[in-house]
Structure formats: structure tokens, C-alpha cells
Amino acid sequence: EAAVTQSPRSKVAVTGGKVTLSCHQTNNHDYMYWYRQDTGHGLRLIHYSYVADSTEKGDIPDGYKASRPSQENFSLILELASLSQTAVYFCASSAPPGAETLYFGSGTRLTVL
């Protein structure tokens, strides 16, 4: 079965600090995604990537950067963390374009104080 691993599982950060969330997949999938989950909003796409060294903006990219150094790894970076970025973050991967299923990691719970 597809495997997507996120680290850390939880993190507490201070307002204005830098936060990096990491994701590693062993599915050999081209596409990787970062989603944010908030109560009442479901899952919203922040950034995605379909090839190493390239990233694309999703629906809510403001305040976030992404990095895809290799096919297996995808990071989400909060340069200046804010209170509003407190949420659960999920990484996902999928095979090349088709009516494909998304495979999610277990999530990172980020609390910004």
C-alpha cells in the first residue's frame, strides 16, 4: 500500500518564527500535495508539485512556501508563522493525471502561540 510519512507529528511554534513541515513518500508518485484541515472547512490545498524542483500554488498559498528537492520529498515552509496558521496539515501523493486517488499521511498538528 502507498506510504506517505510526515514529520513531526505535532509542533508548537511561536508567532513570527519559521516552521518547516516534512513529507516523504515511497509510492513513486509524481504528484505531491500539502493540505490544511480546519474544522468546518474540510481540506484546502496549499501547494502542490508534479515534478522535483518545481512547485505550484494551490487555493490558499498565502503565507506558505513549498519545496520539492526530490520525487520522494516535499516540504511546507512557514517563514513567519502566525496564529491563523494553527491547524492540522496533511501531505498527500497521487499518480500522474488520471482520475486518481489521493494517498494521505497521518498529519502534523501545528499550534502557533
- Return residues touching other proteins (CB under 8 A): 4, 31, 33, 40-45, 48, 56, 58, 90, 92, 94, 97-107
CB of 89 to other proteins, least distance (A): 10
Q: How many CB atoms sit inside 10 A of residue 111's CB?
A: 13
Separation between Cα atoms, residue 80 and residue 19, nearest integer Å: 8
DSSP string, 42-107: EEEEEEEEEETTEEEE-SS-TT-EEE-SSSSEEEEEESS--GGG-EEEEEEEE-SSSSPPPEE---
Min CB(97)–other proteins separation in Å: 4
Shortest Cβ distance from residue 23 to other proteins (Å)?
A: 11
Q: 24 φ, ψ to 5°?
A: -135, 130
Q: Which is nearer to other proteins, 16 or 107 (CB)?
A: 107
C-beta of 18 vs 109, nearer to other proteins: 109
- Give the residue with the Cβ less far from other proteins, 13 or 58: 58
Residue 24 vs 105, nearer CB to other proteins: 105
